[in-house]
Amino acid sequence: MSTSTLNQIRTASPLIHCITNYVTVNDVANVLLAIGARPIMADDPEEVEEITALCAGLCLNIGTLNARTIPSMLTAGKHARALGHPVVLDPVGAGASRLRIETALRILDEVHPTVVRGNISEIRTLAVGSGTTQGVDANAADAVTEETLAATADFLRGFAARVEAIIAVTGAIDLVTDGVTTYVIRNGRAEMGRVTGTGCQLSALLAAALAVEPLGLLASVAETVALMGVAGEIAWAQMGERDGNAAYRTRIIDAVYRMTGEELDARMNITKI
């Protein structure tokens, strides 16, 4: 696998529309700038169609869901798909409340996103229509381990085929599948879980990758998942004795900004199963 996705994003500088959550919106904007894309955040129902039409990709993130943004997400998502633009759904906290489950399932049904990226508990919830999370974190009982890897991959392939979307599960071990081919990505640091928003940032980066898609959809998704993990590794190696999670958060974005294709090629760990 090459690093042409990273290079192509920087060449094309795609404009990415994000309807995302207010906890991480600034980090999402900055990581898109770091990779060479251009962010725009617009969630008012009166303008989302117009903004979406200007953009090359759309990221829908339900992390701080409310009654005003639900119709905005559906309207923007349908318009993006009608225009042939890629849509990424990040079902943050699906399983924590009925509203989140119902909204994420409605987006799946009505928008037909190109990619669904979440932790394993969120994805299991969407696959079976119910479930539990630890707030916005995965339930420990669902964790993807070397022992559960094969069974989890089979489960995700079935879900991806059913909803006709690429499924990306991120955690200690990342899995990306289109229902036929499955990639396993072993990059990242456990400490990334102590920084709010690394998943939100990745979902936005996926929208940028899909907007340029030099490798085909599935390979571009896998490479971008690996890129975020590599950024976490590089950032952790640069931490000082007195640095904490705020410094780590900044260093992750800086690592994306400074990433080269050669560095990514040397460090990303992607295999097929």
Residues 40-68 have pLDDT tens digits of 999 999 999 999 999 999 999 999 999 99
In whole angstroms, how far apart are CA 257 and each of 7, 33, 150, 163, 248? 12, 8, 34, 34, 14
Nearest to 244 by CA among 191, 165, 175: 191
Establish how many alpha carbons lie within 13 A of residue 37's alpha carbon, considering only the half-sphere containing its beta carbon. 33
Fold of 4-272: UDP-N-acetylmuramoyl-L-alanine:D-glutamate ligase (3.40.1190)
pLDDT digits (tens, 9 = 90+) for 236-270: 999 999 999 999 999 999 999 999 999 999 999 99
Question: Which residues, other chains included, contact 37 with Cβ-Cβ below 8 Å and sequence gap of 6+?
Answer: 9, 13, 14, 15, 16, 205, 208, 211
**Whole-prediction pTM value?**
0.94
Neighbours of 215 (CB within 10 A): 19
User: Terminal CA-to-CA distance of the chain, rounded, Å?
Assistant: 15
Task: Identify the DSSP state of 55.
Answer: -
- Sites in the chain below the pLDDT cut of 70: 1-3, 130-142, 214
| Per-domain boundaries in the chain | 4-272
